């Protein structure tokens, strides 16, 4: 019996060792799956953020049309998009256009509008239709020579586009079309997969007896996107993610493929690790499949289970020690599972927070677009003011992004915003004050406030003038301090000069924007003192802990 004990012990330890190797193997597989799920979520966040950015342009364009009650001429439309420079900032965007809605048989009025805007006749095509409505393209930007033939094309005559337009007719939401082939002009030799997004445009009509006012559908704004360019830019940010991406309009099949990334999936991992995400883009369901590429690294080597088994076999007589190793392996797996689940929860919270911030930014952009449009006297003034304010917001966003949305330095924020307005590097001594770190809300609000103050100083004062520059002087000084044991920020803005500044008779949108940012959003105070030799502004805001 005693002779059999070593054999029994060896068999027992061997079985335990194999069990440990099995646990380690499955733990490795689970860790690889969880790590890849996180990578897939990062890639999906990049795609959704890029799409939201592009759709914000469509919302801004609608705000422009709403501010003018739909009365936008071709020259104004062109000036708006030229100022935004969509070719560099909105990669993948084919363009934005306006469709005028008319009943079949009433096309003559639409053709007259096209002739007025373009200076030449563009007949509506197809010439005949079986549909009740017509929705020809009247305006489109950018409109180069190759795109001229699309003017007059009736989108309501095509099935996929018509389905999205009919949904947009029913509400004021954005609606994406199914997969369409986009090219240059009407006669194309090469097309690219893409999709369109439509939104209804309403105009106020004459009042009637029952209602004080009513609105009717004048047409539709739409944006055209080339899927390949759009998603390649979204996924090309550094660091590059080791994923192969396939995006389908609806269910995943060859006919619905919108995009497939160039990096092929790893043959050894592509069939085992597949992450699927179902998303909704402008009311349209999409399916996104992620597979790892050869650049994806496993969290641990697959040789570990083999080495663990061999090690257990070498310790044939140490049953107690093997049992202890088994217990440790189980604890390690539990800790790994707990840590990865916690990481996934934190990642989900971060994604939700990013979506919330994007929506807040879009709301702020729409408000600025409407107010700027209502205050502007012409399209050139609107485009310049709107672009400058967007750049001020972008500068604040960029500072927060570099700090991972934690804190931004007040001095750096002032240098960036003033440098953008004055177009030159600020001399030494213009800014003075201790280091003050601002949170997200304070950074964005003060960024716009400094932009508007600097714009007013450049427009009405003597800050940054060429005469002062030649004398080695600068007519602007900004200093700040923290009072009340670090709870209150006090900022003094002084503009010195030779001409007397007087309080304006009318409050402009820029001044309103400053007051709203300081008093409402930051719950602070602002005082303006128009003196004989310039302007003094004192801003007090509470600082969060």
What pTM was estimated for this model as a whole? Answer: 0.53
Contact by Cβ (8 Å): 389, 512: no
The kind and range of the H/E element at 202 are strand 192-204
**Angle in degrees, CA 534, 538, 541, rounded to 5:** 160
Closest to 180 measured CA to CA, from 200, 195, 164: 195
Cα separation values, 203 from 72, 100, 152, 220, 250, Å: 12, 12, 21, 11, 33
Q: How far, in Å, CA of 180 to CA of 226, rounded?
A: 9
Structural tokens at position 179: 């997969």
Please, what's the b/e burial string for 223-251 (b: 16 or more CB within 10 A of its CB; e: otherwise)? bbbbbbbbbbebbeeeeebbbbbbbbbee
pLDDT at residue 225, as a whole number: 93
The kind and range of the H/E element at 232 are helix 227-235
Domain boundaries, the chain: 379-542
Three-class DSSP labels, 34-90: HHHHHHHHHHHHHHHHHHHHHHHHHHHHHHHHHHCCCCCCHHHHHHHHHHHCHHHHC
pLDDT at residue 251, as a whole number: 93
pLDDT at residue 421, as a whole number: 73
Closest to 248 measured CA to CA, from 257, 239, 260, 236: 257
pLDDT at residue 353, as a whole number: 47
pLDDT at residue 466, as a whole number: 43
Q: How far, in Å, CA of 334 to CA of 323, rounded?
A: 17
What average pLDDT values come out for the chain (545 residues) when binned by 10 residues? 56 65 69 89 94 90 88 89 76 90 91 87 92 94 86 94 95 94 66 94 62 68 93 89 95 93 80 89 96 84 59 60 60 73 62 52 60 66 68 61 67 84 75 89 85 81 51 73 88 81 74 87 90 87 81
pLDDT at residue 20, as a whole number: 62
Q: How far, in Å, CA of 234 to CA of 489, rounded?
A: 39
**Which residues are paired to 259 by β-bridges?**
247
Structural tokens at position 168: 């947009």
Fold of the 379-542 domain: Heat Shock Protein 90 (3.30.565)
pLDDT at residue 215, as a whole number: 62
């Amino acid at each position: 019996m005693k002779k059999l004990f070593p054999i029994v012990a060896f068999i027992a330890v061997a079985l335990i060792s194999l069990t440990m190797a099995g646990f380690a193997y499955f733990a490795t597989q689970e860790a690889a799956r969880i790590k890849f799920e996180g990578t897939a979520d990062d890639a999906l966040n990049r795609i959704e953020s890029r799409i939201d950015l592009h759709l914000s342009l469509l919302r801004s364009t609608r705000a422009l049309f709403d501010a003018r009650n739909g009365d936008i001429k071709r020259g104004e439309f062109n000036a708006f998009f030229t100022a935004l420079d969509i070719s560099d900032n909105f990669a993948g965007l084919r363009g934005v256009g306006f469709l005028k809605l008319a009943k079949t048989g009433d096309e003559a009025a639409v053709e007259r509008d096209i002739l007025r805007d373009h200076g030449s006749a563009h007949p509506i095509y197809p010439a005949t239709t079986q549909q009740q409505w017509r929705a020809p393209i009247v305006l489109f930007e950018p409109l180069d020579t190759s795109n001229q033939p699309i003017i007059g094309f009736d989108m309501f005559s095509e099935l996929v586009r018509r389905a999205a337009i009919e949904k947009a007719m029913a509400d004021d939401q954005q609606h994406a079309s199914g997969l369409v082939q986009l090219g240059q002009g009407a006669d194309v030799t090469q097309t690219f997969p893409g999709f369109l997004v439509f939104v209804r445009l309403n105009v106020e009509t004459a009042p009637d007896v029952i209602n004080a006012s009513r609105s009717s559908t004048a047409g539709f704004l739409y944006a055209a996107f080339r899927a390949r360019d759009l998603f390649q830019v979204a996924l090309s940010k550094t660091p590059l993610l080791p994923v192969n991406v396939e995006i389908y309009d609806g269910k995943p099949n060859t006919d619905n493929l919108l995009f497939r990334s160039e990096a092929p999936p790893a043959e050894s991992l592509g069939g085992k690790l597949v992450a699927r995400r179902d998303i909704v883009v402008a009311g349209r369901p999409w399916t996104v499949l992620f597979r790892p590429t050869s650049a994806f690294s496993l969290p641990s080597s697959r040789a570990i289970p083999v080495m663990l088994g061999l090690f257990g076999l070498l310790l044939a007589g140490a049953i107690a020690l093997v049992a202890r190793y088994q217990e440790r392996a189980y604890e390690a797996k539990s800790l790994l599972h707990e840590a990865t689940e916690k990481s996934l929860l934190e990642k989900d919270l971060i994604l939700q927070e990013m979506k919330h911030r994007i929506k807040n930014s879009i709301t702020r952009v729409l408000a600025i677009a409407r107010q700027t449009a209502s205050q502007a006297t012409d399209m050139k003034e609107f485009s310049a003011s709107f672009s400058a304010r967007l750049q001020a917001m972008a500068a604040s966003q960029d500072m927060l992004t570099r700090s991972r949305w934690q804190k931004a330095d007040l001095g750096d924020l002032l240098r960036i915003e003033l440098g953008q307005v004055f177009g030159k590097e600020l001399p030494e001594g213009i800014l003075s004050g201790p280091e003050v770190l601002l949170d997200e809300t304070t950074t964005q609000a003060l960024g716009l406030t400094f932009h508007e103050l600097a714009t007013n100083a450049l427009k009405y004062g003597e800050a940054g003038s060429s005469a002062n520059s030649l004398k080695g002087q600068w007519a602007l000084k900004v200093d700040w301090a923290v009072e009340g044991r670090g709870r209150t920020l006090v900022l003094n803005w002084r503009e010195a000069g030779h001409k007397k500044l007087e309080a304006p008779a009318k409050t402009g949108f820029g001044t309103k924007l400053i007051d709203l940012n300081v008093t409402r959003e930051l719950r602070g105070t602002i005082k303006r003192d128009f003196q004989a030799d310039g302007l003094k502004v004192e801003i007090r805001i509470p600082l969060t802990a």
